[in-house]
Structure 1
Amino acid sequence: MTVIKIDDEIELRIIQMDERFKLFETVDKNRIHLRKWLPWVDHSTSPDSYVTVIQAWQENIDRGTGLELGVFYKGELAGMTGYNVIAVGQGRAQVGYWISKDAEGKGIVRRAVKGLIDYGFKDLDLNRIEIICGDKNYRSRAIPESFGFVRESTMAEYEFLYDHYHDCIMYRMLRKDWVSQTK
Protein backbone atom coordinates (compact mmCIF):
# COMPACT_ATOMS: atom_id res chain seq x y z
CA MET A 1 0.00 0.00 0.00
CA THR A 2 1.31 3.40 -0.97
CA VAL A 3 2.02 5.63 2.02
CA ILE A 4 3.85 8.94 1.68
CA LYS A 5 4.95 10.30 5.05
CA ILE A 6 5.15 14.06 4.66
CA ASP A 7 6.11 15.07 8.20
CA ASP A 8 5.11 14.36 11.81
CA GLU A 9 1.58 15.63 11.14
CA ILE A 10 0.74 14.60 7.57
CA GLU A 11 0.56 11.27 5.80
CA LEU A 12 -0.82 10.49 2.35
CA ARG A 13 -2.26 7.03 1.82
CA ILE A 14 -4.75 5.04 -0.18
CA ILE A 15 -8.32 5.21 1.10
CA GLN A 16 -9.53 1.75 2.12
CA MET A 17 -13.09 0.58 1.48
CA ASP A 18 -14.00 0.69 5.18
CA GLU A 19 -12.93 4.37 5.25
CA ARG A 20 -15.72 5.35 2.84
CA PHE A 21 -17.87 6.30 5.83
CA LYS A 22 -15.30 8.83 7.05
CA LEU A 23 -14.74 10.07 3.50
CA PHE A 24 -18.46 10.64 3.02
CA GLU A 25 -18.75 12.32 6.42
CA THR A 26 -15.88 14.68 5.56
CA VAL A 27 -17.34 15.58 2.17
CA ASP A 28 -20.87 15.89 3.55
CA LYS A 29 -19.75 18.21 6.35
CA ASN A 30 -17.90 20.35 3.77
CA ARG A 31 -20.43 20.14 0.95
CA ILE A 32 -20.98 23.91 0.53
CA HIS A 33 -17.25 24.63 0.90
CA LEU A 34 -16.24 22.02 -1.70
CA ARG A 35 -19.11 22.44 -4.15
CA LYS A 36 -17.93 25.87 -5.26
CA TRP A 37 -14.99 24.35 -7.18
CA LEU A 38 -15.54 20.58 -7.41
CA PRO A 39 -18.06 19.21 -9.93
CA TRP A 40 -18.46 15.79 -8.27
CA VAL A 41 -19.74 16.84 -4.82
CA ASP A 42 -23.45 16.41 -5.60
CA HIS A 43 -22.79 12.81 -6.67
CA SER A 44 -21.57 12.01 -3.16
CA THR A 45 -24.92 11.03 -1.67
CA SER A 46 -24.00 8.28 0.81
CA PRO A 47 -21.01 6.26 2.01
CA ASP A 48 -21.98 3.61 -0.52
CA SER A 49 -21.59 6.10 -3.37
CA TYR A 50 -17.85 5.74 -2.70
CA VAL A 51 -17.76 1.97 -3.26
CA THR A 52 -17.34 2.26 -7.04
CA VAL A 53 -15.15 5.38 -6.65
CA ILE A 54 -12.69 3.61 -4.32
CA GLN A 55 -12.70 0.58 -6.63
CA ALA A 56 -11.92 2.84 -9.59
CA TRP A 57 -9.12 4.53 -7.65
CA GLN A 58 -7.61 1.11 -6.89
CA GLU A 59 -7.91 0.04 -10.54
CA ASN A 60 -6.14 3.25 -11.59
CA ILE A 61 -3.37 2.53 -9.08
CA ASP A 62 -3.06 -1.06 -10.35
CA ARG A 63 -2.84 0.18 -13.97
CA GLY A 64 -0.52 3.06 -13.06
CA THR A 65 -2.96 5.63 -14.47
CA GLY A 66 -3.76 7.41 -11.21
CA LEU A 67 -2.86 7.69 -7.54
CA GLU A 68 -5.63 9.15 -5.37
CA LEU A 69 -4.58 9.49 -1.74
CA GLY A 70 -6.25 10.58 1.46
CA VAL A 71 -4.58 13.44 3.32
CA PHE A 72 -4.39 12.41 6.96
CA TYR A 73 -3.58 15.23 9.36
CA LYS A 74 -2.73 14.09 12.87
CA GLY A 75 -4.29 10.74 11.98
CA GLU A 76 -7.61 12.18 10.77
CA LEU A 77 -8.82 12.40 7.18
CA ALA A 78 -8.62 16.07 6.22
CA GLY A 79 -8.91 15.88 2.43
CA MET A 80 -7.53 14.25 -0.67
CA THR A 81 -4.67 14.77 -3.07
CA GLY A 82 -3.03 12.68 -5.70
CA TYR A 83 -2.47 12.18 -9.36
CA ASN A 84 -5.92 12.23 -10.97
CA VAL A 85 -4.30 11.31 -14.26
CA ILE A 86 -0.97 9.65 -14.96
CA ALA A 87 -0.16 9.44 -18.68
CA VAL A 88 1.53 6.05 -18.80
CA GLY A 89 4.65 6.12 -20.97
CA GLN A 90 4.46 9.91 -21.30
CA GLY A 91 6.10 10.89 -18.00
CA ARG A 92 3.36 13.33 -17.09
CA ALA A 93 0.60 13.54 -14.51
CA GLN A 94 -2.02 15.94 -13.13
CA VAL A 95 -2.30 16.73 -9.44
CA GLY A 96 -5.64 17.36 -7.76
CA TYR A 97 -6.41 18.29 -4.16
CA TRP A 98 -9.10 19.40 -1.75
CA ILE A 99 -9.16 20.06 1.97
CA SER A 100 -11.88 20.33 4.59
CA LYS A 101 -12.82 23.81 5.76
CA ASP A 102 -11.58 23.26 9.33
CA ALA A 103 -8.17 22.09 8.04
CA GLU A 104 -7.57 25.19 5.92
CA GLY A 105 -4.88 27.68 6.87
CA LYS A 106 -2.47 25.14 8.41
CA GLY A 107 -0.27 24.58 5.37
CA ILE A 108 -1.59 21.04 4.99
CA VAL A 109 -2.29 21.21 1.26
CA ARG A 110 1.01 22.92 0.49
CA ARG A 111 3.03 20.33 2.44
CA ALA A 112 1.02 17.42 1.02
CA VAL A 113 1.35 18.61 -2.56
CA LYS A 114 5.09 19.25 -2.15
CA GLY A 115 5.53 15.69 -0.90
CA LEU A 116 3.43 14.38 -3.78
CA ILE A 117 5.50 16.32 -6.31
CA ASP A 118 8.76 15.00 -4.80
CA TYR A 119 7.30 11.47 -4.94
CA GLY A 120 6.20 11.95 -8.55
CA PHE A 121 9.57 13.08 -9.81
CA LYS A 122 11.63 10.66 -7.72
CA ASP A 123 9.54 7.50 -7.36
CA LEU A 124 7.22 7.65 -10.37
CA ASP A 125 9.94 9.03 -12.67
CA LEU A 126 7.67 11.77 -13.97
CA ASN A 127 9.06 14.51 -16.18
CA ARG A 128 6.09 16.91 -16.09
CA ILE A 129 3.50 17.61 -13.41
CA GLU A 130 0.42 19.70 -14.13
CA ILE A 131 -2.07 21.39 -11.83
CA ILE A 132 -5.34 22.74 -13.21
CA CYS A 133 -7.22 25.32 -11.11
CA GLY A 134 -10.29 27.44 -11.58
CA ASP A 135 -9.09 30.87 -12.68
CA LYS A 136 -10.97 32.50 -9.79
CA ASN A 137 -10.02 29.85 -7.23
CA TYR A 138 -7.23 31.94 -5.73
CA ARG A 139 -6.58 29.64 -2.77
CA SER A 140 -6.05 26.69 -5.09
CA ARG A 141 -3.94 28.73 -7.49
CA ALA A 142 -1.68 29.78 -4.60
CA ILE A 143 -0.37 26.21 -4.36
CA PRO A 144 1.31 25.89 -7.79
CA GLU A 145 2.27 29.55 -7.76
CA SER A 146 4.04 29.13 -4.41
CA PHE A 147 6.18 26.36 -5.90
CA GLY A 148 7.11 28.32 -9.02
CA PHE A 149 4.96 26.34 -11.43
CA VAL A 150 4.73 28.01 -14.83
CA ARG A 151 1.31 29.31 -15.80
CA GLU A 152 1.05 27.63 -19.16
CA SER A 153 -2.43 28.50 -20.38
CA THR A 154 -5.90 29.71 -19.57
CA MET A 155 -8.46 27.26 -20.85
CA ALA A 156 -11.76 28.98 -21.64
CA GLU A 157 -14.91 27.34 -20.27
CA TYR A 158 -12.86 24.25 -19.41
CA GLU A 159 -15.04 22.77 -16.68
CA PHE A 160 -18.76 22.62 -16.00
CA LEU A 161 -19.75 23.41 -12.41
CA TYR A 162 -23.41 22.49 -11.91
CA ASP A 163 -24.95 25.40 -13.80
CA HIS A 164 -22.09 27.16 -15.60
CA TYR A 165 -18.77 26.71 -17.34
CA HIS A 166 -15.71 28.34 -15.86
CA ASP A 167 -12.21 29.04 -17.09
CA CYS A 168 -9.27 27.11 -15.69
CA ILE A 169 -5.54 27.72 -15.62
CA MET A 170 -3.02 25.00 -16.38
CA TYR A 171 0.24 25.19 -14.46
CA ARG A 172 3.24 22.97 -15.09
CA MET A 173 6.49 21.98 -13.47
CA LEU A 174 9.23 20.07 -15.26
CA ARG A 175 11.52 17.77 -13.32
CA LYS A 176 14.64 19.72 -14.34
CA ASP A 177 13.10 22.94 -12.99
CA TRP A 178 11.97 21.29 -9.74
CA VAL A 179 15.40 19.77 -9.16
CA SER A 180 17.23 23.04 -9.87
CA GLN A 181 15.02 25.06 -7.50
CA THR A 182 15.07 22.53 -4.64
CA LYS A 183 18.86 22.15 -4.49
Structure 2
Amino acid sequence: MFVHGIDKDLSLKLVEMRDAERIFELTDRSRDALKEWLPWLDHTKTVEDTKSFIQSGAENFALGKSLNCAIIYRGELAGIAGFNEINEAKQTAYIGYWLDTQYQGKGIMTRVAKALTDYALLERGLNKVEIRAAVGNRKSRNIPSRLGFTEEGVIRHAEWLYDHFVDHAVYGMLKSEWGSVKSQ
Protein backbone atom coordinates (compact mmCIF):
# COMPACT_ATOMS: atom_id res chain seq x y z
CA MET A 1 0.00 0.00 0.00
CA PHE A 2 1.34 3.38 -1.00
CA VAL A 3 0.89 6.03 1.71
CA HIS A 4 2.82 9.29 1.63
CA GLY A 5 2.58 11.73 4.53
CA ILE A 6 2.90 15.39 3.55
CA ASP A 7 2.27 17.27 6.82
CA LYS A 8 0.13 16.94 9.94
CA ASP A 9 -3.08 17.65 7.98
CA LEU A 10 -2.36 16.07 4.63
CA SER A 11 -1.37 12.74 3.10
CA LEU A 12 -1.73 10.73 -0.07
CA LYS A 13 -2.73 7.09 -0.21
CA LEU A 14 -3.22 4.70 -3.06
CA VAL A 15 -6.87 4.70 -4.11
CA GLU A 16 -8.62 1.51 -3.03
CA MET A 17 -11.93 -0.05 -3.99
CA ARG A 18 -13.31 0.80 -0.53
CA ASP A 19 -12.86 4.51 -1.46
CA ALA A 20 -15.26 4.24 -4.42
CA GLU A 21 -18.40 5.56 -2.70
CA ARG A 22 -16.62 8.58 -1.20
CA ILE A 23 -14.83 9.40 -4.47
CA PHE A 24 -18.10 9.19 -6.36
CA GLU A 25 -19.84 11.34 -3.72
CA LEU A 26 -17.17 14.06 -4.13
CA THR A 27 -17.32 13.76 -7.92
CA ASP A 28 -21.08 14.07 -7.95
CA ARG A 29 -21.14 16.96 -5.46
CA SER A 30 -18.49 18.91 -7.43
CA ARG A 31 -19.66 17.78 -10.86
CA ASP A 32 -20.59 21.23 -12.22
CA ALA A 33 -17.32 22.84 -11.11
CA LEU A 34 -15.17 19.91 -12.27
CA LYS A 35 -16.93 19.70 -15.63
CA GLU A 36 -15.68 23.14 -16.56
CA TRP A 37 -12.15 21.72 -16.99
CA LEU A 38 -12.22 17.91 -16.83
CA PRO A 39 -13.48 15.75 -19.72
CA TRP A 40 -14.47 12.56 -17.89
CA LEU A 41 -17.51 13.66 -15.89
CA ASP A 42 -20.06 12.40 -18.44
CA HIS A 43 -18.43 8.95 -18.14
CA THR A 44 -18.69 8.92 -14.34
CA LYS A 45 -22.38 8.57 -13.61
CA THR A 46 -22.42 5.77 -11.04
CA VAL A 47 -20.31 4.26 -8.27
CA GLU A 48 -19.62 1.42 -10.72
CA ASP A 49 -17.93 3.91 -13.07
CA THR A 50 -15.73 5.03 -10.17
CA LYS A 51 -14.92 1.39 -9.37
CA SER A 52 -13.82 0.90 -13.00
CA PHE A 53 -11.51 3.93 -12.65
CA ILE A 54 -10.04 2.46 -9.45
CA GLN A 55 -9.55 -0.98 -11.04
CA SER A 56 -7.85 0.49 -14.10
CA GLY A 57 -5.64 2.63 -11.86
CA ALA A 58 -4.64 -0.40 -9.77
CA GLU A 59 -3.67 -2.33 -12.90
CA ASN A 60 -1.60 0.58 -14.24
CA PHE A 61 0.02 1.10 -10.81
CA ALA A 62 1.06 -2.57 -10.76
CA LEU A 63 2.69 -2.04 -14.17
CA GLY A 64 4.45 1.13 -12.96
CA LYS A 65 2.52 3.27 -15.47
CA SER A 66 0.51 5.53 -13.14
CA LEU A 67 -0.30 6.36 -9.53
CA ASN A 68 -3.79 7.42 -8.44
CA CYS A 69 -3.93 8.69 -4.88
CA ALA A 70 -6.69 9.80 -2.58
CA ILE A 71 -5.93 13.17 -1.00
CA ILE A 72 -6.57 12.81 2.73
CA TYR A 73 -7.08 16.16 4.44
CA ARG A 74 -7.62 16.09 8.21
CA GLY A 75 -8.77 12.48 7.98
CA GLU A 76 -11.23 13.03 5.12
CA LEU A 77 -10.88 12.03 1.48
CA ALA A 78 -10.88 15.41 -0.31
CA GLY A 79 -9.94 14.66 -3.92
CA ILE A 80 -7.63 12.75 -6.23
CA ALA A 81 -4.07 13.45 -7.33
CA GLY A 82 -1.19 11.50 -8.73
CA PHE A 83 0.57 10.63 -11.92
CA ASN A 84 -1.78 10.18 -14.85
CA GLU A 85 1.19 8.66 -16.61
CA ILE A 86 4.69 7.59 -15.65
CA ASN A 87 6.87 7.22 -18.72
CA GLU A 88 10.04 5.39 -17.70
CA ALA A 89 11.55 5.69 -21.20
CA LYS A 90 11.27 9.49 -21.03
CA GLN A 91 11.91 9.49 -17.26
CA THR A 92 8.88 11.76 -16.92
CA ALA A 93 5.79 11.76 -14.71
CA TYR A 94 2.64 13.74 -15.55
CA ILE A 95 0.73 15.08 -12.55
CA GLY A 96 -3.05 15.31 -12.60
CA TYR A 97 -5.39 16.41 -9.82
CA TRP A 98 -8.84 17.51 -8.75
CA LEU A 99 -10.25 18.63 -5.44
CA ASP A 100 -13.77 18.72 -4.08
CA THR A 101 -15.03 22.31 -4.06
CA GLN A 102 -15.39 22.44 -0.26
CA TYR A 103 -11.63 21.87 0.15
CA GLN A 104 -10.43 24.45 -2.39
CA GLY A 105 -8.62 27.62 -1.33
CA LYS A 106 -6.69 25.98 1.54
CA GLY A 107 -3.36 25.44 -0.26
CA ILE A 108 -3.97 21.70 -0.33
CA MET A 109 -3.25 21.13 -4.00
CA THR A 110 -0.03 23.14 -4.02
CA ARG A 111 1.29 21.03 -1.14
CA VAL A 112 0.13 17.84 -2.88
CA ALA A 113 1.79 18.80 -6.19
CA LYS A 114 5.01 19.65 -4.33
CA ALA A 115 4.97 16.27 -2.56
CA LEU A 116 4.33 14.44 -5.84
CA THR A 117 7.18 16.34 -7.49
CA ASP A 118 9.49 15.44 -4.59
CA TYR A 119 8.45 11.81 -4.89
CA ALA A 120 8.97 11.63 -8.67
CA LEU A 121 12.29 13.46 -8.81
CA LEU A 122 13.93 12.56 -5.49
CA GLU A 123 12.51 9.16 -4.56
CA ARG A 124 11.73 7.65 -7.98
CA GLY A 125 14.74 9.29 -9.62
CA LEU A 126 12.83 10.51 -12.66
CA ASN A 127 14.19 13.46 -14.63
CA LYS A 128 11.07 15.55 -15.23
CA VAL A 129 7.60 16.27 -13.93
CA GLU A 130 4.97 17.90 -16.12
CA ILE A 131 1.68 19.53 -15.22
CA ARG A 132 -0.77 20.44 -17.96
CA ALA A 133 -3.84 22.59 -17.52
CA ALA A 134 -6.33 24.28 -19.78
CA VAL A 135 -5.15 27.79 -20.61
CA GLY A 136 -8.27 29.32 -19.05
CA ASN A 137 -8.00 27.30 -15.83
CA ARG A 138 -6.14 29.87 -13.71
CA LYS A 139 -6.59 27.98 -10.42
CA SER A 140 -4.93 24.88 -11.82
CA ARG A 141 -2.23 26.85 -13.63
CA ASN A 142 -1.33 28.76 -10.46
CA ILE A 143 -0.14 25.55 -8.80
CA PRO A 144 2.92 24.83 -11.00
CA SER A 145 3.65 28.56 -11.13
CA ARG A 146 3.76 28.75 -7.31
CA LEU A 147 6.11 25.77 -7.27
CA GLY A 148 8.56 27.35 -9.72
CA PHE A 149 7.77 25.14 -12.72
CA THR A 150 8.71 26.57 -16.11
CA GLU A 151 5.87 27.32 -18.49
CA GLU A 152 7.14 25.49 -21.56
CA GLY A 153 4.44 26.40 -24.03
CA VAL A 154 0.90 25.83 -25.15
CA ILE A 155 -0.49 22.82 -26.99
CA ARG A 156 -3.29 24.04 -29.20
CA HIS A 157 -6.54 22.07 -29.14
CA ALA A 158 -4.99 19.64 -26.68
CA GLU A 159 -8.27 18.28 -25.34
CA TRP A 160 -11.90 17.92 -26.37
CA LEU A 161 -14.05 19.25 -23.54
CA TYR A 162 -17.64 18.12 -24.22
CA ASP A 163 -18.42 20.54 -27.07
CA HIS A 164 -15.19 22.42 -27.76
CA PHE A 165 -11.42 22.12 -27.77
CA VAL A 166 -9.23 23.71 -25.11
CA ASP A 167 -5.57 24.60 -25.36
CA HIS A 168 -3.24 23.33 -22.62
CA ALA A 169 -0.44 25.22 -20.96
CA VAL A 170 2.47 22.86 -20.26
CA TYR A 171 4.64 23.32 -17.17
CA GLY A 172 7.81 21.35 -16.50
CA MET A 173 10.24 20.83 -13.67
CA LEU A 174 13.59 19.12 -14.22
CA LYS A 175 15.35 17.19 -11.47
CA SER A 176 18.38 19.47 -11.88
CA GLU A 177 16.19 22.54 -11.19
CA TRP A 178 14.12 21.20 -8.31
CA GLY A 179 16.76 21.51 -5.61
CA SER A 180 17.38 25.19 -6.29
CA VAL A 181 13.65 25.94 -6.52
CA LYS A 182 12.94 24.16 -3.22
CA SER A 183 15.62 26.13 -1.38
CA GLN A 184 14.20 29.52 -2.39
If the length of structure 1 is used for normalisation, what is the TM-score?
0.97
- Give the RMSD, CA atoms, in angstroms: 0.9
Paired AA for residue 5 in structure 1? G
Matched, 1:139 2:143: no
* CA shift for structure 1 position 123: 1.5
Give distance in 1, aligned partners of 2:43 and 2:18: 19
* CA shift for structure 1 position 128: 0.4
What does 1:1-183 align with in structure 2 at a 5 Å threshold? Answer: 1-183=1-183
Give distance in 1, aligned partners of 2:105 and 2:22: 22
SS state of the match for residue 57, structure 1? helix
* CA shift for structure 1 position 76: 0.8
**Runs of at least 4 residues off by over 6 Å:** none
How many residue pairs get aligned? The number is: 183
* CA shift for structure 1 position 155: 0.7
| 2:147–2:181 Cα contact (<8 Å) kept | no
* CA shift for structure 1 position 90: 2.3
Residues 10-42 of structure 1: per-residue CA shift (max 9 Å, x gap): 110111102101110010000001000000011
* CA shift for structure 1 position 181: 2.0
SS state of the match for residue 65, structure 1? coil
Paired AA for residue 64 in structure 1? G
Give distance in 1, aligned partners of 2:122 and 2:34: 31
Structure 2's unaligned 5+ residue stretches are none
If the length of structure 2 is used for normalisation, what is the TM-score?
0.97
Residues 107-132 of structure 1: per-residue CA shift (max 9 Å, x gap): 00011111111111122111000000
Paired AA for residue 38 in structure 1? L
Give distance in 1, aligned partners of 2:169 and 2:181: 22
SS state of the match for residue 37, structure 1? coil
Paired AA for residue 41 in structure 1? L
Residues 61-119 of structure 1: per-residue CA shift (max 9 Å, x gap): 11111011111111111111100010023210100011111101100001111111111
| 2:43–2:49 Cα contact (<8 Å) kept | yes
Paired AA for residue 24 in structure 2? F
Give distance in 2, aligned partners of 1:128 and 1:110: 17
SS state of the match for residue 7, structure 2? coil
Percent of residue pairs bearing the same amino acid type: 37
Give distance in 2, aligned partners of 1:47 and 1:177: 41
Structure 1's unaligned 5+ residue stretches are none
